[in-house]
Every structure is written in C-alpha cells, then in structure tokens.
Amino acid sequence: MDLKTMIYIRSEAEFNRARSRGFWDINRSLVTGHKPYLLPFDEVIKGLPATPTIHLGLQDIPLKNIVGSVGRFRGFTRHFMPRVSDERGKERWRTIYTLVVSGAGFPPVEVFQIGPVYFVQDGHHRVSVASYLGWSTIQADVTVWPSIPIGAADLVGQPQLQIEVN
C-alpha cells in the first residue's frame, strides 16, 4: 500500500473529526447566540451600488478573515467545519485532505474581499481542510468588491452582520 492510499484511508477518521468539530461549533453557537453558519455574501452586498470589481490576483490571506460564502453559507460552520456529510461533500473533503497531507497541494481558492474580510466563491472544501489542519493563511485569487455597506468600513465585529474574526 502506498503513502497516498494510507493517507486517504486515514482521511475518513479526519473527516469525522472535522464534522464533530462542526457539531460542537453549532452547539456553542446556541449558547453564545452567534449564528453557526457563514455569512451569506448576497446579504452583505444587498443594496450596494453595482460597481465594477477589482481583481487583485493571487495573495496569501488569513483564514480567520474568511467569514462568508457566495452561495454555500449553510454547508459549513463559521469556522469552516463541515455541517453536513453528504457523500459527495465528504468525498471532496477527503480527496483534498489526501492531496494536502501527501504534499500534492491544491489550487488557490477564489474569494471576494469586502473591507478586511473574505467570502469564498470557489474552494469551500479547501478552506475547510486548511482550517481543520490549523493553517493561518491560504492562497487565494482575490477580487475586491469596492463598495462597502454604509457605516461598515470595518466589517470585523459588526454585530448587525454577525461577523467575527477569531
């Protein structure tokens, strides 16, 4: 049995641990009053003027500043642990885990940046695995949304948006 196969076999237990962390994230949110899921990008940009985005290209971004999602905000906890365990999502998570731990790596995630925070457009499972493994940064293809909601120049910690950077 080769190394990659052994890592893939181990990925089953690692996914279950990540899903367990997600379970506890949800339970903690019931006690703390925080929303257990990611912030939906559409809610944040609702009512903003339609302005052209600015493509910044590849950057290393802090994982702790990724607070939301474009379209998949309920699939992961606010710490990017898996909330559901459908077979397709589980298999995707395990494959990415195997690539990372075996040293193969993966392509950058795609994110929108609003102020100091980021919303994942593509790469939710990659962010989840990186978060599970304790990375502090991840490589991302960054596109800036230049309009910031009125009164929210610094989105970090805005209670009305339920954004927190830990």
Q: What pLDDT score was predicted for residue 60? A: 97
Give the span between the Cα atoms of 15 and 21, in whole angstroms: 10
Neighbours of 133 (CB within 10 A): 13
DSSP state for residue 53 in the 8-state scheme: -
Exposed e or buried b per residue across 81-95, where buried means at least 16 C-beta atoms within 10 angstroms of its C-beta:
bbbeeeeebbebbbe
Ordered by where they begin, the domains of the chain are 3-161 (3.90.1530.10)
pLDDT of residue 34: 73
Amino acid at site 53:
T
- Is 105 strand, coil or helix? coil
Rg (CA), the chain: 16
Low-confidence spans in the chain with pLDDT less than 70: 27, 30, 33, 73-74, 84-85, 147-166
